[in-house]
Amino acid sequence: MHAIGIDFGTSTSEIGTFVAGDVRILEDISAGSKTIPSAVAVNDDGNVIVGHEALKYEGLEGRFVSQVKRLMGTDTEVELGNRGYRPEEIAALIMGKLKSSAEKSFGASITEAVISVPANFPEPARRATMDAAEIAGLKVLRLINEPTAAAVAFGSVKSRAKETALVFDWGGGTLDLTVLGIEGRNVNVIASYGDLFLGGSDFDEAMAEYLESSLTEDEDITIFAHEALRKEARRVKEALSFNDTVDLYLPAAAKKADGTSVKLERPLSREEMNRVVSHLIDRAREVVDETLSMKNVEYSEVDRVILVGGTTYVPAVREMLQDLFPGRVSTSVDPDLAVCIGGTYQAAIMKGLVVGEDQVITSDISPYGLGLEVLEQIGNSWEFIYDPLIEPNTTLPFETNVEYDLLSSEQRAVNIRVLQSHRNTKQLAEEAIDTGIHARIAGIPQRRDTEPHTLRIDFSYDANGMIHLSATIVETKQSITIDFSETEVSLTEQDKLAAKHEIMELLKHM
């Protein structure tokens, strides 16, 4: 029996297993690395390849795909080898590659895994992640929020001290912050917040634009080698995380009107890079402040900051955190592997491989609130209002029910519209986020008396972040269940079966 954890990341992914009482992150033997790039490409022979080998084709239009995690839960298609792929299918190829590598290592089939997702991943993206796992031949034991997984990794090796910790998880595509209450091996999530579109790739983009701007003094330049500049920007960012200066060298960074290449060759300092990415550091500082303020946690009350994700290697990031939390920034868990370690440890707990006092007990939360659009009288006018069913940072699992009166006894239909918000109070519906999840109960008979019908809402939110909602007209028993998996962008069962067949065939040839 194998306990498997998968960290499906924007830039890199990992897979771990629990062996002899400890977590082991499996190595990609061909590359000698415990992480694989979350990249898919079509090689010169027309075969689909995943991971390190795929990076050889980076920048080739129609032959290379990366950062698909940012597209999860959308209906965007990416082109690969003259056909379009859904984000779930690309994600399934990456998960399938990890699964296949692990099966070769164990000599046995793997069918289940705990998979990590950003704490602020919206519900459609969570569903898409589960669909991707299913296409790859994996049953999801649990979706675990990435900062919670990191906390599990931290809790599995720390003493039984009582403390408040901040998980600062900055990966390739997202920034996730979570405030934890840790007491012994009990880890309770207090608050969670983040930015789904702020990651290490944004550092790469900022640096690439800066490198381009350093060439613009030459007015004869007509074409920039964008992809080459982006690759060099990434290399420079990583090198300056460990060195004060680095030498830039691109023999063909751009081209002039006459077709001759323009070389980029000069030193670049860490101080210079810090200036270029300062706006990203400022945004991260704002997210820290917003996260703590959600539960009125003072900076002085945070005992420890746990670093997670490759972007936390950037010195400017660590300097910012040391400035906010002097002497309290911890590096006891590998930032690159913390999420995978925690997810694997959680899988071991669920498989019964970790018992008694060795277990890390976690409670998670809803990172955002969900509610309904309702009509309320405010003064002399009627307004559409967001009425919360669950507030942000509510401990999961959670369930509730609430009743609403229809407007009149003659109302024949009711529309149900689900909204999302980071605020925990009523607000105008237009200030909340429309989830795109709507339903309608029609054909409601008129009541014989003058009283309006009652609409009952039953709502639940489970530990996987999966949401269930049903609506019932109490007097007539007319009801509808809102299936949050059946949105306009979700895959049907038939779609998943077809995708699974194709993905499995592609994986056979890797």
pTM listed for this prediction: 0.81
* CATH number of the domain bearing residue 264: 3.90.640.10
* CATH number of the domain bearing residue 424: 2.60.34.10
- Of 278, 302, 335, which one is at a domain's C-terminal end? 278
CB 11 within 8 Å of CB 200:
yes
- Examine residue 309 and state whether it is found in any structural domain, yes or no: no
Q: Which of 191, 427, 412 is nearest to 288 (CA)?
A: 191
Pairing, β 369-378 against β 381-390: antiparallel
- Examine residue 23 and state whether it is found in any structural domain, yes or no: no
Can you say how many angstroms the Cα of residue 78 is from the centroid of all Cα atoms in its chain? 19
* Dihedral, CA of residue 421, residue 427, residue 429 and residue 433, to nearest 10: -10
- Of 252, 278, 304, which one is at a domain's C-terminal end? 278
In a structure prediction context, what are the per-residue pLDDT tens digits for the chain, which is 510 residues long?
Answer: 789 999 999 999 999 999 888 899 998 877 778 999 999 999 998 889 999 999 999 888 899 999 999 999 888 999 998 889 999 999 999 999 999 989 988 888 999 999 999 888 877 888 899 999 999 999 999 999 888 898 888 776 555 578 899 999 998 888 999 998 888 778 888 988 888 889 999 999 999 999 888 876 665 666 777 888 888 889 999 999 999 999 988 888 888 777 788 888 889 999 999 999 999 999 999 999 999 998 899 999 999 999 999 999 999 999 999 999 999 998 777 889 999 999 999 999 999 888 766 677 777 888 888 999 999 888 888 899 999 999 988 988 899 999 999 998 889 999 999 998 877 778 888 988 887 788 899 999 988 888 999 999 999 988 766 788 999 999 999 999 886 654 445 566 666 666 666 776 666 666
- Examine residue 217 and state whether it is found in any structural domain, yes or no: yes
Helix and strand counts by DSSP (H, E) for the chain: 10, 30
- Of 278, 300, 332, which one is at a domain's C-terminal end? 278
- Examine residue 315 and state whether it is found in any structural domain, yes or no: no
Can you say how many angstroms the Cα of residue 140 is from the centroid of all Cα atoms in its chain? 16
CB 414 within 8 Å of CB 438:
no
- Examine residue 459 and state whether it is found in any structural domain, yes or no: yes
Q: Domain range for residue 212?
A: 200-278
Rounded alpha-carbon distances, angstroms, from residue 127 to 88, 92, 193, 343, 403: 10, 13, 20, 18, 28
- Examine residue 286 and state whether it is found in any structural domain, yes or no: no
Residue 266: CB atoms within 10 Å: 10
- Examine residue 415 and state whether it is found in any structural domain, yes or no: yes
- Examine residue 453 and state whether it is found in any structural domain, yes or no: yes
Q: How far apart are CA 432 and CA 419, in angstroms?
A: 6
Place of tokens 């839960």: 73
Q: How many domains is the chain partitioned into structurally?
A: 2
